[in-house]
């Protein structure tokens, strides 16, 4: 190998190493630049998310300070968020009762609210479904309940005052009527037919005053209910055939003969008797139809009559104590019905069309 060839090969080797060095240098620089770019990118994202994370943290702190329970869970019942109030409340177990387990029973409802008596306090629970999660709030309403009870007591005291005056007035009228009947009885003692007629009048007056006192006392005393499951068809059938046995052809009951509801049987019997009686008295030969419908939350009892309907000016006062359009009525029948249904955490409403009749609807919560 001559000198020129040696110089040629040396140049090639030098160029090869030089190219290799340049390649590794470029690779190194590119790699580091990528790292730098990624670090910069991460830094940029961090700058974007940091304020958001701070806001979320602040928002969580605010929710933790609320005097109200907040619980967010997904459709698989996995916890998304729960504030401190809810955590503390749900950690209490009373007689094998846990508030979390109770709430989970109602998750099939997209919007629902109910009251709970738990740990000697009243709570209002609301459930709101938002596409992929449930937003649940729990509020302590014990103070509100106590205020409502005080308000009801004050209202009842006002009505008791009205009752006292009304009882005195009616008692005076009844005594005067009975006294008149006794005087007439003495004058016509020798006429058996007249005597029997006067005795019937006395009995009617005594019955009226007895019923008046029953209504007054029923409204004045504190309402206590004792609930259990019972067959509503059997109860209504008993009312139809035993209490209104003279009007059985004017009463129709359309429901499953095995329909079971939850409530105070004796109290609800009082409600049904009152509404059926009103229906039968709502017009000449009036017909009363009773049926029941059910949804996820309520059993709804409908009592419809074919009477003359309710005048528009009387509708707003229908459940007001002492309001009556009946001659000799106490004005407490529907007020007592409303109290009984409300004591079941239900409600009562009506719709009426002049000369077409009236429908009363009783909403009873399912248990």
Is-contact 346 365, C-beta < 8 A?
yes
Q: What is the pLDDT, as a whole number, of residue 355?
A: 87
Is-contact 88 121, C-beta < 8 A?
no
Average pLDDT of every residue of the chain: 76
Model confidence at 204: pLDDT above 80: no
Domain edge (last residue) among 220, 241, 269: 220
Q: 3-state DSSP: the chain helix, strand, coil percent, rounded to 5?
A: 55, 20, 25
Assign residue 276 the CATH number of its domain.
3.30.565.10
Q: What is the pLDDT, as a whole number, of residue 172?
A: 60
212 found inside a domain: yes
Question: pTM for the complete prediction?
Answer: 0.51
Model confidence at 214: pLDDT above 50: yes
164 found inside a domain: yes
Q: Based on the number of CB atoms within 10 Å of its own CB, is 308 exposed (0-12), middle (13-18) or buried (19 or more)?
A: middle
Residues 190 and 103 reside in one and the same domain: no
The region of weakest confidence among 171-175, 258-262, 346-350 is: 171-175
Model confidence at 20: pLDDT above 60: no
Confidence of residue 11 (pLDDT cuts 50, 70, 90): very low
Pull the structure tokens for residue 10.
């040396």
CB atoms within 10 A of CB 65: 10
DSSP string across 190-218: T-HHHHHHHHHHHHHHHHHHHHHHHHHHH
Length of the chain: 367
Residues 122 and 207 reside in one and the same domain: no
- Percent of the chain at pLDDT > 70 equals 66
Eight-state DSSP code of residue 94: B
**Domain boundaries, position 207:** 150-220
Is-contact 364 298, C-beta < 8 A?
yes
Number of domains in the chain: 3
37 found inside a domain: no
CB-based contacts of 302, cutoff 8 Å, min separation 6: 289, 290, 291, 292, 293, 359, 360, 361, 362
131 phi-psi bin (left φ>0, alpha ψ -120 to 50, beta other): left
- Report pLDDT digits (tens) over 120-134: 788 888 888 877 788
């Amino acid at each position: 190998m001559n000198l020129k060839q040696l110089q040629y090969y040396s140049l090639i080797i030098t160029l090869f190493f030089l190219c290799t060095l340049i390649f590794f240098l470029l690779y190194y620089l590119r790699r580091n630049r990528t790292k730098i770019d990624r670090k910069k990118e991460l830094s940029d994202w961090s700058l974007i998310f940091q304020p958001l994370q701070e806001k979320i943290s602040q928002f969580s702190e605010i929710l933790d300070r609320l005097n109200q329970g907040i619980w967010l869970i997904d459709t698989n019942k996995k916890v998304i968020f729960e504030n401190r109030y809810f955590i503390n409340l749900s950690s209490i177990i009373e007689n094998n009762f846990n508030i979390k387990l109770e709430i989970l029973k109602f998750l099939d409802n997209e919007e629902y609210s109910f009251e709970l008596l738990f740990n000697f306090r009243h709570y209002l629970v609301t459930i709101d479904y938002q596409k992929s999660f449930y937003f649940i709030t729990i509020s302590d309403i014990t103070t509100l309940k106590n205020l409502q009870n005080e308000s009801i007591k004050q209202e009842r005291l006002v009505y008791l005052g009205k009752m006292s005056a009304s009882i005195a007035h009616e008692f005076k009228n009844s005594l005067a009527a009975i006294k008149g009947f006794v005087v007439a009885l003495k004058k016509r003692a020798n006429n058996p037919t007249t005597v029997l007629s006067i005795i019937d009048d006395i009995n009617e007056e005594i019955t009226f005053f007895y019923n008046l006192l029953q209504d007054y006392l029923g409204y004045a005393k504190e309402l206590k209910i004792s609930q259990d499951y019972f067959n509503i068809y059997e109860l209504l059938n008993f009312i139809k055939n035993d209490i209104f046995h003279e009007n059985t052809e004017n009463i129709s009951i359309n429901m499953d003969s095995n329909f079971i509801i939850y409530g105070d049987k004796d109290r609800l019997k009082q409600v049904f008797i009152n509404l059926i009686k009103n229906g039968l008295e709502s017009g000449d030969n009036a017909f009363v139809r009773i049926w029941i419908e059910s949804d996820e939350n309520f059993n709804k009892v409908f009592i419809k009559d074919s009477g003359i309907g309710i005048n528009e000016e009387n509708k707003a006062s229908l459940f007001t104590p002492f309001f009556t359009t009946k001659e000799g009525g106490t004005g407490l029948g529907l007020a007592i019905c409303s109290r009984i249904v409300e004591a079941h955490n239900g409600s009562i409403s009506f719709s009426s069309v002049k000369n077409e009749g009236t429908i009363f609807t009783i909403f009873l919560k399912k248990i």
